[in-house]
Amino acid sequence: MDESGEKEVFLDIRSGPPSPSYGSPKRDVATGAPSTDFSAKLPEVLACCSALSFHFALGLVLAYSAVLIPQLEAPDSDLKITKDQASLVASVVALSVPVGSLATAPIMEALGRLRTVQLATLPYILGCALIALANGFPMLLAGRFLTGVAAGTFGTNPAIVYTTEVARPELRGSLISVGPFMVSLGTFVTYVVGAYMPWRTLSWAFTAAPVATVLLMLLWTPESPLWLASKGRKDQAVRSMHFLARRDPAKLASAEVDVDKLVRGAEERRAAQRSGVVAYLATLFSQRTGLRPLLIIAVLFALQQFAGIYVTLFFAVSFFKDVRSALDANTASMLVGTIRVACSIQATFMMRRFGRRPLLMLSAALCCASMAVSGYFARIITTSAGDWQPLPGNETTPAGDVVELGAEVPAWMRWVPVVAILVYVYSGMLGLLTIPWTMTAELFAPRVRSLGQGMSVALANVFMFGAVQSYKDLVTLLGGVWAVHWFYAAVSLAAVLFTYLFVPETHRRTLAEIEEYFDTSLLYPAYQRRRRRQQRDELVVNRADDVHSNGVNGNEALLGK
């Protein structure tokens, strides 16, 4: 989400050996093999997890609207808002992220990764206070915006950059996945506590989250050696590296040499950046390897958001109330939080084992099926037990009386939308929610990754704002929540087709292979067929060369005899 140019050195772990930075794998002193001693890596793990724990505060902010809006819409609420205002309260967090991203990068470069995360505590606490003390819609909206800026950009972006700069390659992927896990944990806590706590009290309780992160960072997180080296603070960079490598004798011994490499690398990057902003932008927009990944990611994020993936997060309680489920809406939202936490762990392991394309298509297909089923039964339930129609007067029914349309539905039928929505949440976590965010760091070449990733994330949050803001309007426009579910099913099906046709596989693919697809092909299946033909042709040529070589060697042997 932030996009410091310096992290490019660390992120591209697919195209060759690791860069000679602090991120290099630790080697055993005697054998030179990578060490598996976890105790040597523990300082890095604690440092990164402490910084990434700010994502917990982000989870609280994202899920807060799910418990806030139903309480505001209650008849006894002391603060009344309209339907449009409720949508804006939920969606303004998404809109705040692109705005905050504009300020995060320069602040992070000026103050450092650590201080930027610590600085995020101030707007976060101020935003929570505005919400808790709100006497009207403007204060409520301002509080949501501030907490969105603080948690969505100032607190989380520097933590991700810090992790890419500090963690060694064999730990980097696992540690970065701690962020999404903490977000899911934060949403779960919000759903559980919010079911029993008034919204003002809950907002005050949220202020403890960033404070806890700062305290953990004071104990275990030194400033990034890379950032210190880029600012010419060599002595501080050495001390930071000593702290992170205090259990790693090999890395401790080479700390000063590693810092010298970081300083030289920083100087080279500064020289490259002086080539001009216009040339840098032209690299992204004038080349297929820059523009096409951006278009693919943008469409993928649009499909992700308008498939309703984040609507279930922002409107979890309302989502279940709208389908008139048999399960209490607050209990159902707790189940949503539980599934998100469990699946965030499962998805990490599955993305290591399986390719991005099959997971993405499977996830979107399951989302399509579950939303189609939910919409079908929600339509039966809402038209059978919830819609009433005035009848004209006659000999048996006085004018103005109402009758129920249809008979009461069986009890089991009210459980079907609940199960279908929970399956939908699970399915989304398998790929449609997680993989597009991962691909923002995988599709772009290193020379444009910072810019491309930043633009992708900004677009994703604009789409998120539109999807969340439009949910209640779609219910009215399409004639019921069941129709919105079918709309989400249709968009999920479109995501399956788009992924099959255009999204490349990045799992265990080199950067050269990914760039070759963008540079030579429009459709990914056609690219795969051409690659298979090339591989077969190469295999035939190699076999022919082997046969020829063996024949020549045999003849020479006979002549020798």
Start and end residues for every CATH 1.20.1250.20 domain found in the chain: 37-221, 287-387+408-550
% of the chain with per-residue pLDDT over 90: 31
**Least confident among 4-18, 348-362, 461-475:** 4-18
pLDDT at 496 over 90: yes
Q: Measure CA of the first residue to CA of the last residue in the chain; give whole Å.
A: 71
Paired tokens of 325: 């489920």
Please tell me the predicted confidence (pLDDT) of residue 552.
Answer: 56
Please tell me the predicted confidence (pLDDT) of residue 487.
Answer: 96
% of the chain with per-residue pLDDT over 70: 80
pLDDT at 23 over 60: no
Contact present, 457 and 101 (Cβ < 8 Å):
yes
Q: How far apart are CA 472 and CA 89, in angstroms?
A: 12
H-type alpha helices, 470-523: 471-478, 481-502, 511-520
Average pLDDT over residues 336-358: 83
Measuring CA to CA, how many Å separate 89 from each of 311, 434, 471, 500?
A: 13, 24, 13, 36
Please tell me the predicted confidence (pLDDT) of residue 375.
Answer: 93
The pLDDT confidence band at residue 8, using thresholds 50, 70 and 90, is: very low
CA atoms within 13 A on the CB side of 350: 19
Q: 435-461, pLDDT tens digit by residue? A: 888 787 678 776 666 677 778 888 888
Beta bridge partners of 444: none
pLDDT at 60 over 90: yes
Please tell me the predicted confidence (pLDDT) of residue 535.
Answer: 79
3-state helix, strand, coil in the chain (%, to 5): 75, 0, 25
The pLDDT confidence band at residue 321, using thresholds 50, 70 and 90, is: confident
Just give the CATH number of 287-387+408-550: 1.20.1250.20
**Least confident among 139-153, 176-190, 272-286, 525-539:** 272-286
The pLDDT confidence band at residue 1, using thresholds 50, 70 and 90, is: very low
Paired tokens of 209: 């989250």
The pLDDT confidence band at residue 234, using thresholds 50, 70 and 90, is: confident
Paired tokens of 83: 């339907």
Is this prediction's pTM over 0.95?
A: no
Please tell me the predicted confidence (pLDDT) of residue 396.
Answer: 39
Beta bridge partners of 34: 27
Q: 262-277, pLDDT tens digit by residue? A: 776 666 555 555 555 5
pLDDT at 48 over 70: yes
Just give the CATH number of 37-221: 1.20.1250.20
pLDDT at 76 over 70: yes
The pLDDT confidence band at residue 541, using thresholds 50, 70 and 90, is: confident
